[in-house]
Amino acid sequence: MNVALPVIVFAPALAALALFAVPKEDRWVTRFVSLAGASVSLVGSILVAITYDVDAGGLQLAWGIPLVPALGIRLDLAVDGWGVALLLLTGIIIFAAVLASFTVQRRDQEFFVYLLVLVSGVFGVFVAQDLLVFFLFYEIAVLPMYLLIGIWGSSHAVTEDGPFRYVWKVLDIGGREYAAMKLTLMLLMGSAAILVGIFWLYLESETGSFNLAALEHATYSRSTQLIVFPLFWLGFGTLAGVFPFHTWSPDGHASAPTAVSMLHAGVLMKLGA
């Protein structure tokens, strides 16, 4: 059983855990541990790209363990051609993002913890073969955005005169807290739609499993298809920035720290695609 994929996925999360043992005043140790976690994932992604058999195609380098056997929930990881490209892209971006974050001074240890947890979720989304585990990784990738933008973001509050200037001021439109809250609320509404769709498929399929291959080959009624497709379109379309659910993205980009903006533009919006 190949362990390359779990190493790529969990190396940043383990680095984040290791940061709790680092004294906050040891800022260079914090940066070294964070860069080490990102480096392991980058090197692993390069090795996966070299190892992947392009001629054979399909899912390769499979690894898995049971999580909740009674419900058919497993931590199954595998990668296809698209996944290889996205792993490599994410590995490069997180390595560069950690380097770009060396200038963070305020609560820097917490910043790196949230950043590393976020990227573990991104890696997991690209290789998860269990739909519920896929959703969990998806949420792990999205939720730290609120803290990263709300605490370390920049504010660009609207200051123009006009009849709505009082409303703009009260809502802090353009501020980092406004951007973080708007992003989180819109993405959580999308996540709720995705979760409903996932359990609808699980119950309708009668496979007793969240495995993507098993769900793919199940038979679904027309009514289920007409309900689940809009739920998934709403959920993933919101993260992908599909009109009219895109309005969180400009605020998020403008207010996000450099590293988060890199991940946002480079890989996070691709989770919805």
**CA pair distance 33, 214, nearest whole angstrom:** 39
Tell me what the mean pLDDT of segment 87-103 comes to: 91
Those residues whose C-beta lies under 8 Å from the C-beta of residue 193, and which sit 6 or more positions away, are 231, 232, 234, 235
3-class DSSP assignment, residue 78: strand
Cα 100 to chain center, whole Å? 19
3-class DSSP assignment, residue 105: coil
**Is residue 245 within 8 Å of 183, Cβ to Cβ?**
no
**CA pair distance 222, 162, nearest whole angstrom:** 51
Lowest-confidence region among 54-68, 71-85, 234-248: 234-248
3-class DSSP assignment, residue 26: coil
pLDDT for 21-73, tens place per residue?
A: 888 888 899 999 999 999 999 999 999 999 998 888 889 999 989 888 888 88
What pTM was computed for the model? 0.87
Helix or strand (DSSP H, E) at 79? strand 73-79
Q: List the structure tokens of 253.
A: 């980009």
The mean pLDDT of the chain is 84
Which one-letter amino acid corresponds to residue 156? H
**CA pair distance 210, 188, nearest whole angstrom:** 21
Q: Which residue has the higher pLDDT, 247 or 42?
A: 42
Say which DSSP state 128 is in. Answer: B
pLDDT for 132-160, tens place per residue?
A: 999 999 899 888 888 888 788 776 555 55
For 14-17, the CB contacts below 8 A with 24+ separation are 15/40, 15/116, 16/112, 16/113, 16/114, 16/116, 16/117, 16/120
Residue 9 pLDDT greater than 90, yes or no = yes
